[in-house]
Amino acid sequence: MAAGRALADVVVTAADDFWTDRPVFVTGGTGLLGGWLVRRLVERDADVVCLVRDWSPGSVLAGPELAGSVRLVRGDVRDLRLLERALAGREIDTVFHLAAQTQVPVAGRGPLPTFETNVAGTWNVLEACRRAPTVSQVVVASSDKAYGDAGGRPYEEGMPLAGRHPYEASKAAAELVARSFAYAFGLRLAITRCANLFGGGDLNWSRLVPGTIRSALRGRRPVVRSDGSPVRDYLYVEDAADAYLLLARRLAGDAGLAGEAFNLSCERPLSTLQMVRLLLDLMGSRLEPSAARARAALGWRPAHSLEDGLRKTVAWYEAALGVAPVGIR
């Protein structure tokens, strides 16, 4: 996956005062990326408001370091009137729309709730932004899954969105909705398509990275739920959060970015089995994976190598699970 449009060489720093006292609205703040994004915003003294539907005690947003630093609005992205009140009442300037049903298997079993949240939720957020007089820029989270099956070719922003399964189609449809708001109504928004995110705070143990780390820390063989051959791009979650901040800031000063989409990736595709073996090697584990269940516009690049991101992720889970450090290589 190409981290397109020359996203190289710029890192957002804590000294950046662009966010100081800026009213920011985040949907999906209890998710993996949302929690880290909110932490970054709080570190930069932004005035952060989060829309929360279901409270997640294990999320980064629920951590003690953010207690009292974020205002919460309880509700759902499908409630347009609530969104309008939240944006207008707090004079929101910048919106990060991350709320979504993100589980591919869940989408396959129940497509309707996925479409309602991912597509209708997106048009509600954008309509509320369109009506809010103070909203200046919006970043909409999509996914590289919107491309569908590219036949092994690297994803490029100019490729058509060809998602065929429910989750893929929901993200592709949400992008089309977002672009229509940019072009028809002049809403200054940009779209991100992230690779597979990993990092501390992901408590969905069915995902590859947290599931592998937990198994290894407990001395169990990690289970690979495929033949190990599917190739994916990965991105450490803190790098994704930094890219979101940078994109919003650039969008504020460059109307030409409106309606554009940006791939965010480490640009190092690995097969499932390669990723598991890399993790086990970094942890100094001799466990073998089990396949028993089956055989230039932004100037951004990741600040963490794949190995560095995985090391930090392992350390987070060691602390969260109360396990002695394994001595990461």
Spatial separation of the C-alpha atoms in residues 47 and 262, rounded to whole Å? 26
* CATH at residue 314: 3.90.25.10
148 and 292 fall within a common domain: no
Beta-carbon neighbour count of residue 143 at 10 Å? 24
What's the gap between Cα 160 and its chain centre? 21
pLDDT band at 1 (very low <50, low <70, confident <90, very high): low
139 and 219 fall within a common domain: no
- Pick the last residue of a domain from 221, 245, 264: 264
Residue 96 has pLDDT above 80, yes or no: yes
Token pair of 144 as six digits: 């590289």
Burial (CB count within 10 angstroms: exposed 0-12, middle 13-18, buried 19+), residue 78: middle
Q: Does residue 8 sit within a domain?
A: no
Residue 2 has pLDDT above 70, yes or no: no
| Closest to 291 measured CA to CA, from 231, 187, 212 | 212
Parent domain of 148: 23-198+234-264
Q: Does residue 5 sit within a domain?
A: no
Token pair of 225 as six digits: 């739920």
73 and 220 fall within a common domain: no
Burial (CB count within 10 angstroms: exposed 0-12, middle 13-18, buried 19+), residue 10: middle
Token pair of 158 as six digits: 């100019």
106 and 162 fall within a common domain: yes
- Pick the last residue of a domain from 220, 243, 264: 264
100 and 128 fall within a common domain: yes
Q: Does residue 18 sit within a domain?
A: no
Mean pLDDT to the nearest integer, 154-181: 87
Residue 247 has a pLDDT of 95
50 and 104 fall within a common domain: yes
Sign of CA dihedral 197, 201, 203, 209: positive
Q: Does residue 129 sit within a domain?
A: yes
Spatial separation of the C-alpha atoms in residues 88 and 178, rounded to whole Å? 20
Tell which wins on pLDDT, 295 or 252: 252
pTM, rounded to two decimals: 0.84
Q: Considering its fold, how many domains does the chain have in total?
A: 2
Average pLDDT, the chain: 87
Q: How many residues comprise the chain?
A: 329
175 and 276 fall within a common domain: no
Beta-carbon neighbour count of residue 85 at 10 Å? 14
pLDDT band at 162 (very low <50, low <70, confident <90, very high): confident
* Catalytically annotated residues: 167
* CATH at residue 84: 3.40.50.720
251 and 302 fall within a common domain: no
List b or e across 164-200, with b for residues whose CB sees 16 or more CB atoms inside 10 angstroms.
Answer: eebbbbbbbbbbebbbebbeeeebbbbbbbbbbbbbb
292 and 180 fall within a common domain: no
Q: Does residue 10 sit within a domain?
A: no
291 and 165 fall within a common domain: no
Rounded percentage of the chain residues whose pLDDT exceeds 70: 88
Of the listed ranges 86-100, 154-168, 256-270, 290-304, the one predicted with least confidence: 290-304
Q: For residue 23, give Cα distances in angstroms to 48, 175, 233.
A: 6, 25, 33
276 and 166 fall within a common domain: no
30 and 144 fall within a common domain: yes
Radius of gyration of the chain (CA): 19
pLDDT band at 15 (very low <50, low <70, confident <90, very high): very low
Q: Does residue 243 sit within a domain?
A: yes
